[in-house]
Amino acid sequence: MAGDHLPLAELTSSGRPVLLPSEIECSFLSNVELESENSANFSVRLKSGLLILTTHRLIWLPPNPVPPGSKGCYVPLAAVSHIVSKKSMKSMFASPRLSFQVSVGPDGRVDTKSLVRGSRSIVMTAVMRGKGDVDSFVAKFWENWRGRAWERDNEELGSSSSVKSGHESGSGSGGFDSTGMRMVGVAGILRREQEIWESTDKSLHDAFQDLNALMSKAKEMVMLAEKMRLKLLSGSSQAGAANNEEMGSKEEMQDWLLSVGIISPVTKESAGALYHQQLSRQLADFVKFPLERSGGMINLIDIYCLFNRARGTELISPEDLLRACSLWDKFDVPVMLRKFDSGVMVIQNKSYRDEEVFARIKTLVTKPDTLRMGISASDAALTLGIAPAMAKEHLLTAESQGLLCRDVSPDGFRFYVNLFPEIISDDLYVVQHHGVYAMWNTIVSSA
């Protein structure tokens, strides 16, 4: 089994790979067969799957629908010791083949640690049987392998800890910084702050100069945002009880963080023909958090704004969004697109049930005040804790189910509980003892 030799790839509930902290997806190819040369205790043969190239790994995902027992796995680029193929892949008769040499540990498993143990090498080949831009995939493969993004991560982990220790030693022993200037007292603190601000400023400046550089700086940006958040948190706790303004800005900061949360947007370039599929899955993942916050149903327009904001660059068009949502039917994702009679479209959890909202509306609309005065969409929005546009859709749906009646007047558009079923046609003057009609009648007569 491939699982014996290659590490398994962790997936989200929508079938997307869970990426490492600074990992970015670069290219996709479908219908790829991954195999190894025949060898004693290492044999891999994975058919017609999806091959994803990232800055850190080559991920192989099983095709859709998934054959039983098959799981996604990956080859860390760190374990690749040599790329065998020529740069040009075009061949008249056979499918293009990309071969590379992988270090394998004595236990027959590939992972980054095996490099260190000085092991043997196995040649693996990816046979590209599908349509797709193979040349660009291979070019990026070379680029990423040379880029050695995983080593930079290790470096940074090491460097950030050394920076911390540097600061500690500085404040502890009243010491000097790298240029030999005295970093003592308030002046020293100010100077240190100044230097940090300058380097931050330069970092921002560089990032905005060059969009390519921005992609690699994206990780730095996120770290910056993280630091700001921590500062805010520590700032508010120092002040004791946080006042309203601080709470407000903290909330804003969290919102902004959410919206810069995605480092690796799926783009047309990296996914080619699979663009919509991968976008669809990424959207399904993204949508979970906003859905929770808005009670299980959210306007499509709101998601369009939120999603594009999170992507930053490589914005998607409304048509792309619609197509991505309609693809959800084909996958097993926990969300769905719903269109109301009025034309409003929303995204909701598959587990969402109208009945719950109807029960709440019914309770709201049979209170003494609302029996007499009815409710408007904004009243309902306030009580139910949802957006007014959504509240109106719910009220209209409840009306179509016979739960409510509308009242249109110069006072506005209001809804009352539907009493018509309880009114007896044969005798217009009779009000039965039990029921909402009786309750209504009592309240109205006593006014």
Partner 1 sequence: MQKLGDFKLPPFFNYPPYFTLQPVRDTREKQIQLWKDLILDYCKTQKIFIIGLEEEFPLFSNHVIERSLTHEAREAFLSALVSEGRAEWLDKGRRKCLILWHRIQEWADIIVNFVKDNALEDGGVVTVEEIRSGIESRGTELHCLDRTILMRALKLLEHKGKLAIFKGTSADDEGSKESAAKPCNRDSIRNNFHFCWAVVGMEL
Looking at the Cβ atoms of 239 and 423, the one nearer to partner 1 is 423
In degrees, rounded to 5, the angle at the alpha carbon of residue 202 between the alpha carbons of residues 198 and 207 is 150
Site for partner 1 (CB under 8 A): which residue of 337, 364, 419, 436? 419
Only one residue has tokens 């993942």, namely: 285
296 binds partner 1 (CB under 8 A): no
Cβ burial 239-264 (10 Å sphere, 16+ → b, else e): eeebeeeeeeebeebeeeebbbebbb
Of 350, 377, 353, 351, the closest CA to residue 365 belongs to 377
- Contacts of residue 286, defined as CB under 8 A and 6 or more positions apart, other chains included, come to 262, 306, 307, 310
Q: Tell me, what DSSP letter sits at residue 176?
A: B
User: What are the CA-CA distances from residue 208 to residues 168, 195, 202, 203, 414 (Å)?
Assistant: 32, 20, 10, 9, 51
- Contacts of residue 432, defined as CB under 8 A and 6 or more positions apart, other chains included, come to 422, 424, 438
Site for partner 1 (CB under 8 A): which residue of 116, 186, 241, 428? 428
Q: Which of residues 93-122 bind partner 1 (CB under 8 A)?
A: none
Site for partner 1 (CB under 8 A): which residue of 92, 421, 434, 446? 421
Looking at the Cβ atoms of 286 and 416, the one nearer to partner 1 is 416
* Shortest CB 396 distance to partner 1, Å: 9
Stretch that binds partner 1, among 105-113, 173-181, 294-302, 409-417 (CB under 8 A): 409-417
Looking at the Cβ atoms of 239 and 444, the one nearer to partner 1 is 444
Cβ burial 152-162 (10 Å sphere, 16+ → b, else e): ebeeeeeeeee
State in Å, rounded, how far the first CA of the chain is from the last one: 79
How many other CB atoms are there within 10 angstroms of residue 148's CB atom?
15
* Shortest CB 367 distance to partner 1, Å: 16
62 binds partner 1 (CB under 8 A): no
Which amino acid is present at 51? L
Site for partner 1 (CB under 8 A): which residue of 64, 88, 400, 432? 400
Cis-peptide into 65, omega within 30 deg:
yes
420 binds partner 1 (CB under 8 A): yes
Site for partner 1 (CB under 8 A): which residue of 150, 286, 328, 440? 440
Site for partner 1 (CB under 8 A): which residue of 35, 246, 302, 399? 399
Q: Are 100 and 83 in contact (CB under 8 A)?
A: yes
* Shortest CB 265 distance to partner 1, Å: 44
446 binds partner 1 (CB under 8 A): no
Which helix (DSSP H) or strand (DSSP E) does residue 405 occupy?
A: strand 404-409
Stretch that binds partner 1, among 109-117, 259-267, 305-313, 405-413 (CB under 8 A): 405-413
Q: Which of residues 349-388 bind partner 1 (CB under 8 A)?
A: 374
406 binds partner 1 (CB under 8 A): yes
434 binds partner 1 (CB under 8 A): no
How many other CB atoms are there within 10 angstroms of residue 43's CB atom?
16
Looking at the Cβ atoms of 145 and 440, the one nearer to partner 1 is 440
Query: Cα separation of 153 and 159, whole Å?
Result: 10
Looking at the Cβ atoms of 156 and 399, the one nearer to partner 1 is 399
Of 88, 104, 106, the closest CA to residue 96 belongs to 88
418 binds partner 1 (CB under 8 A): yes
414 binds partner 1 (CB under 8 A): yes
Site for partner 1 (CB under 8 A): which residue of 258, 405, 436, 439? 405
Stretch that binds partner 1, among 4-12, 127-135, 325-333, 439-447 (CB under 8 A): 439-447
433 binds partner 1 (CB under 8 A): no
397 binds partner 1 (CB under 8 A): no
Q: How many residues bind partner 1 (CB under 8 A)?
A: 26
| Binding positions for partner 1, rule: CB under 8 A | 374, 399-400, 402, 405-409, 411, 414, 416, 418-421, 423, 425, 428-429, 431, 437, 440-441, 444-445
